Amino acid sequence: MEQKNALNTSPRPTAPAAPNAAEKSSGGASLFSVIVIVLAFVVAYVIFKFILGNGSHFQGGLNTNAPIPGDLLGTVYSGGNIVPILITMFLCVITFSIERLLTISKAKGAQSIEGFVRIVRQKLNANDINGAIAACDKQKGSVANVVKAGLLKYNEMSRERTMATDQKVLAIQKEIEETTALELPMLEKNLVIISTIASIATLTGLLGTVFGMISAFSALAQAGSPDAVKLASGISEALINTAFGIGTSALAIVAYNYFTSKIDELTYSIDEAGFSIIQTFAGQHGQTVQA
């Protein structure tokens, strides 16, 4: 139990080369994020201006007039300048979700994580370390890279004659932790953007609704006489922002929870395989590791 807890809960140290690698990957990810956000805003503005704002959706062929009754695109355009911001958020959620999906799929490797870990444990139980390394080469991906690093360290420590068994076990554990620190952080890149959109999309939609309501009541006050039809139309257009914001927020929440659960699965698989490596080594060299 002691070794397993140490593997799961101890801080993961960073290898000497890790800071540079992390800075490079972080810089690349940040640049990618900025480019995606800028392009999403450009696309959103084009959609808002030339598709939603096309004159064919409005009475008299002008987008300054009221939208044609029942025309959804014209009604969305009437939501105002907050609409392109909401479209930008929606496009960012879609783009970053696809990017995360591809990254996590690549990190998993060629087959299911459960099947890979099962094969590695079987090889370890049979004391076939080279066979386990071959399984890692076949699997590929971040999880396989971490497990392979631990197995290579296993072979190295098996040939080491000057260190005590507990020192060898700690060396293997440290190698797994350092490799994990290099492999897994990229899986969480851009998730902060998705989580941020999940928090602010609804608020942005409500802000657009407030602006729309202010505009509707202001126009009603200037008219000098109550007009229930115009007031209802203005409120309907204002609520478009709220609906768009809630929909975008809901999509972002689902995407964020899905990807964090997948990352947790990968982390658990690495911990499970890492403990099996340490347990096998300790068992082969006379040290007891409690489950």
Chain segment 49-88, per-residue pLDDT in tens: 999 999 998 888 888 888 888 888 988 888 888 999 999 9
CA distance 44 to 41: 5
Domain assignment present for 176: yes
Mean pLDDT value of segment 153-169: 85
Number of domains observed in the structure of the chain: 1
CA distance 213 to 288: 70
120-129, 190-199, 220-229, range with the lowest pLDDT: 220-229
CB 42 within 8 A of CB 93: no
Q: Which of 172, 114, 100, 173 is nearest to 143 (CA)?
A: 114
Domain containing residue 97:
2-284
Domain assignment present for 291: no
Domain assignment present for 222: yes
Distances (CA, A) of 103 to 44, 108, 188: 25, 9, 10
Domain assignment present for 52: yes
Domain assignment present for 198: yes
| Whole-model pTM over 0.85 | no
